[in-house]
């Protein structure tokens, strides 16, 4: 998997320095290609540097972070956006959801949680690639695209590497390595990520109970589902539905 290019946008230099020094970008297959201190500079850097990921504060000079994402998405819809903000107002999270921003995390940044955010970004970027009209070129890409399509179509079922091995007639270890090589995250992380995506969509767009949503996303026990959801999103499913902000990623 190629390294992902990252643009840091924050008007506070110390915040940008913290991101550069306190997070192991190399371990997450990323490299910082540029920085910006205001909205106009951010738009220019997005055009010239072509980042895969933009880490963006909301409250920056000239244009807000959300406005920058809105404008840049018209020209660069493939870019993954992450809002890092001191604002815990759920209305900002709702705006982020409408703009399809991948994550919304709160300051001060927990860098362990931020690592999970980067893994989620990898999943998001992979999902964009497999949903594009261009067909995968390599055999490995075609295989992982078929496997992940199967997962999305069977999220309500019990799924494991053994199940995939039987379905696709492949060694479980080979399938596990494919996830690492082609997506950049492990099988279980990928499966949890897409299950949580579906869960959040159902919580926001349906009146299904938490137990029913748990079943729809492959959890026979709603208590296990609630535990996984809280660990992943920082809040319980019920709090998410009510619009309560958590401390981790809440707008993926």
pLDDT tens, position by position, 12-65: 999 899 889 988 898 888 999 999 999 999 999 999 999 998 998 888 889 888
Check whether residue 150 and residue 109 sit in a common domain: no
Place of tokens 């992450």: 82
- 204 versus 161: the higher-pLDDT residue is 161
Check whether residue 95 and residue 161 sit in a common domain: no
pLDDT over 60 at 89, yes or no: no
The domain boundary, picked from 87, 122, 157, lies at: 122
Check whether residue 163 and residue 208 sit in a common domain: yes
Both structure tokens of 245: 């902000």
Q: What is the mean pLDDT of the chain?
A: 85
Domain-located, residue 128: no
Q: What pLDDT does residue 251 have?
A: 41
pLDDT band at 186 (very low <50, low <70, confident <90, very high): very high
Domain-located, residue 223: yes
Q: What pLDDT does residue 232 have?
A: 85
CATH of the domain at 148: 1.10.10.60
Given a contact cutoff of 8 angstroms between Cβ atoms, the answer to whether 214 and 225 are in contact is yes
The domain boundary, picked from 75, 99, 122, lies at: 122
Instruction: Supply the range of the domain harboring residue 29.
Output: 4-122
Check whether residue 145 and residue 211 sit in a common domain: yes
The domain boundary, picked from 94, 122, 150, lies at: 122
Domain-located, residue 130: no
Q: What pLDDT does residue 233 have?
A: 82
Both structure tokens of 60: 């920056």
CATH of the domain at 26: 3.40.50.2300
Q: Pseudo-torsion of CA 244, 118, 195, 57, nearest 10°?
A: 30
Domain-located, residue 8: yes
User: What's the predicted TM-score (pTM) here?
Assistant: 0.71
Given a contact cutoff of 8 angstroms between Cβ atoms, the answer to whether 42 and 13 are in contact is no
Check whether residue 64 and residue 153 sit in a common domain: no
Domain-located, residue 129: no
Query: From its phi and psi, is residue 188 left (phi > 0), alpha (psi between -120 and 50) or beta?
Result: alpha
Given a contact cutoff of 8 angstroms between Cβ atoms, the answer to whether 182 and 175 are in contact is no
Q: How many domains does the structure of the chain reveal?
A: 2
Pairwise CA distance, residues 193 & 198, whole Å = 9
Check whether residue 181 and residue 92 sit in a common domain: no
CA quadruple 124, 220, 249, 101: dihedral positive or negative? positive
Domain-located, residue 127: no
Check whether residue 82 and residue 158 sit in a common domain: no
Domain-located, residue 206: yes
Check whether residue 109 and residue 8 sit in a common domain: yes
Pairwise CA distance, residues 153 & 49, whole Å = 36
Check whether residue 117 and residue 139 sit in a common domain: no
Check whether residue 183 and residue 116 sit in a common domain: no
Condensed to tens digits (0 to 9), the pLDDT of residues 193-210 reads: 999 989 998 998 899 999
DSSP H helix total and E strand total for the chain: 12, 5
Check whether residue 172 and residue 232 sit in a common domain: yes
Check whether residue 65 and residue 161 sit in a common domain: no
Sheet holding 53-56, edge to edge: 30-36, 4-9, 53-56, 80-85, 103-106
For residue 236, give the 3-state DSSP assignment.
coil
Domain-located, residue 157: yes
């Amino acid at each position: 998997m190629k390294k992902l290019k990252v643009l840091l946008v924050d008007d506070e230099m110390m915040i940008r320095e913290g991101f550069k020094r306190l997070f192991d970008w190399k371990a997450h297959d990323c490299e910082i290609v540029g920085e910006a201190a205001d909205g106009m500079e951010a738009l220019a850097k997005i055009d010239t540097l072509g980042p895969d990921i933009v880490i963006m504060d909301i409250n920056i000079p000239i244009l807000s972070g959300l406005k920058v994402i809105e404008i840049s998405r018209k020209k660069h819809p493939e870019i993954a956006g992450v809002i890092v903000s001191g604002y815990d107002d759920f209305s900002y999270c709702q705006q982020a959801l409408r703009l399809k921003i991948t994550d919304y995390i709160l300051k001060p940044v927990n860098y362990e949680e931020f690592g999970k955010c980067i893994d989620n970004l990898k999943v998001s970027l992979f999902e964009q690639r497999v949903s594009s009209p261009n067909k995968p070129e390599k055999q490995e890409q075609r295989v992982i695209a078929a496997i992940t399509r199967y997962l999305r179509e069977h999220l309500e079922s019990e799924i494991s590497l053994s199940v995939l091995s039987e379905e696709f007639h492949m060694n479980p270890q080979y399938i596990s390595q494919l996830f690492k090589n082609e997506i950049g995250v492990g099988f279980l992380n990928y499966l949890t990520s897409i299950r949580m995506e579906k869960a959040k969509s159902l919580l926001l767009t349906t009146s299904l109970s938490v137990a029913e949503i748990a079943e729809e996303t492959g959890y026979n026990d709603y208590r296990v589902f609630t535990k996984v959801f809280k660990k992943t999103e920082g809040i319980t499913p019920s709090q998410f539905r009510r619009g309560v902000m958590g401390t981790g990623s809440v707008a993926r």
